[in-house]
Amino acid sequence: MITKRLITTGALTSIFVAKAWGSVFFTVDVGSLQDENGTALVDKGMLYLISSGADGSFSLPTEGSITGAGDDSVVAAWDLSTETSTQGEYIVSSGKIAYDETWALGDDLAILWFPNLAVSNQSPAASEAYGFYRNTSVSGGGDVWELPEDGTLLHSLKFFTEGDNPLVEGSDVPALLAAAGLGVGESAGPPTAPVKVATNENNPGTIAFEWEGASVPGGAYRIERKLAGVSDWTVLGTVEAGETSFDDPTVGRGKNYEYRLVGINGFDSVASSEASIQSLQSSLANIATRGVLKSGAEALILGFVIKGTGQIDILATAKGPELANVGITNFALDPTIALFPFGATAPDVENDDWGNTQLTEINDFVGRSFATNFTDQSSKDAALAFSPEGTQLFTAIVNDSGNADGVGLVEVFDATGTSRNGVAPNDAQNRLVNVATRGFVGTGDEVLIAGFIVDGQVDSKLLLRGLGPSIAGLTGTVEDPTITLFRTDFTQPGFPQIEVATNDNWEDDASKVDEIIATSRQVGAAVLDSGSKDSIILIDAVPGLYSFVMSGVSDGTGIGLVEVFLAD
């Protein structure tokens, strides 16, 4: 038999107390089932309410017998062909079953449904298909099943009563009911938990959940996932008995997940131990900005955030003369760099000419990061190496002591947690998560350009902003900025810059406005006013080298702020 949709199953408890509760009736939903020919099974079959008898256990049907060879008894039977159905849901009430001597208080109950039997033939044949329902572990929650295509019979089962009783509370749907699809004479029993469970993420973005040694006769497995520290489990799907793995393609990046396997059939349910995994994430291995090194409010100021608990090795450079090697002629003559912790009035570290101090440390950090070597050890370029710890915010102020108002490049590199250094982003205790650079937005070679490297095996969600009107407390800002994102294509000759995205006004794409607002709040960025002419790009960026250019519409100039936020 083939099934077409998800079905939710309910449950009953197994503890009775001596009290007269009136009568019970129930519904069963079979409207989604079809046989092998595609014929609906609605209005077919016999439904039986079974008592386990004094021994508390069920004897499964055998050839010619509904109740098998034990002391089970048929409490009631219904012919579904005579019951009223609404889209396949039967309210079985033609013979309400009173709580009396029909079964003893404390007896276990089960329901059997034989879709191919009738009043005229209630003798099951060998391998006759049937559905078996019984009360299971009281601690379970509601179940959502995707029915296997091997003919397993699983149905919504609800108990309704004329008053409160141990089966239900206030005639509500019970908490958990498992179901099994078996054939007469087939072996069956409760499910067993696996002896080993594991997770891995061999393919980026897909987690494989695997197990060994589990069994679930006549039932199926449900795979559940939750975030570490959260109590509620999410049902990902079900697989048939005999399966030993499940691929989860719905993982978020850098999430701490827990998985478990729940085996369910008509006898009971059993959950495996929990398997933990952190899904893959990428990192920012480098953040950089190129602009004119002016003075005062137009000085090039870069802020960056490190987030984590451990130490991170940071290489910061301010290049001027070095830019002549890439064709820049109006470069800054003698850049300096000073690094200030948040709120400090004096720098932690600073440098003028890089070859005069920390020569060994800088060369070491260059070799362990994506930085390129300086071509001249005696150049007037600046650089420094330092190793802060924990979550911190730094401001790097870059000036040109040569007062040439030339183009400079300020860069910050992670020399600890990069793949070049043999450290996967998931293993890094601390990482770069944000950069913001304020500088003069000119025209031609004097536009403001930010760059970064996404390092890892999976995409990273990035929030990129180019601000002008929204910069508080400053005059002379660029009135209408626009930003364009480029990725270097290393697969083509000459490594061309491929345009990835562009934006003028941040609300241009109405379909992304809500997500931009939510992501801004997530990363701690102020939500922009509606109608502002600032620019935003929100993108899932594949690993690689990027740059994005901030310029003014119609060659407008002024002070601008470029920002890159890592959003996962």
Show the domains of the chain with their CATH numbers.
2-183 (no CATH), 196-278 (2.60.40.10), 283-566 (no CATH)
- For the chain, list residues with pLDDT below 50: 1-25, 36, 92-106, 135-180
Cβ atoms < 10 Å from Cβ of 164: 13
pLDDT at residue number 205 = 85
pTM of the model: 0.66
In whole angstroms, give the CA distance from residue 296 to residue 303: 16
- Residue type, position 552, single letter: G
Question: How many Cβ atoms from other residues are within 10 Å of residue 254's Cβ?
Answer: 19
Contact at 8 Å (CB) between 441 and 301? no
pLDDT at position 38 is: 57
Residue 123 has φ and ψ, to the nearest 5°, of -115, 105
Distance CA 224, CA 236 (A): 6
How far is CA 402 from each of CA 219, 317, 321, 353, rounded to the nearest angstrom? Answer: 78, 17, 11, 12
User: Tokens in use for 312?
Assistant: 């991170």
The whole-number pLDDT of residue 294 equals 77
- Which residue's entry shows tokens 């489990």? 233
Cβ-based burial of 424 (10 A; exposed 0-12, middle 13-18, buried ≥19)? middle
What is the per-residue pLDDT for 187?
64
Give CA–CA dist 31/309, Å, rounded: 55
Q: Which residues pair with 258 in a beta bridge?
A: 226, 276
**CA-wise closest residue to 268 among 155, 135, 159:** 135
| 3-class DSSP state of 364 | helix
Q: How far is CA 81 from the centre of its chain?
A: 46
Backbone angles phi, psi at 92, to 5 degrees: -85, 100
pLDDT for position 196: 93
Cα separation, 255 vs 199, whole angstroms: 13
Calpha distance 492→495 (Å, rounded): 6
Q: How far is CA 317 from the centre of its chain?
A: 36
Q: Return d(Cα 74, Cα 78) in angstroms, integer.
A: 11
How many whole angstroms separate alpha carbon 248 and alpha carbon 194? 19
CB 286 within 8 A of CB 366: no
Q: CB of 175 within 8 A of CB of 51? A: no
Tokens of 195: 């002896």
pLDDT one-digit tens code per residue, 57-103: 777 788 999 988 778 888 778 888 887 766 555 554 444 444 444 44
pLDDT at residue 266 in the model: 60
For the chain, the C-alpha Rg in angstroms (whole number) is: 34
Whole-number Cα distances in Å, 264 to 181, 221, 243:
11, 6, 14
**End-to-end Cα distance, the chain:** 44
Q: Are 444 and 555 in contact (CB under 8 A)?
A: no
In angstroms, the CA 377 to CA 220 distance is: 68
pLDDT at 86: 63
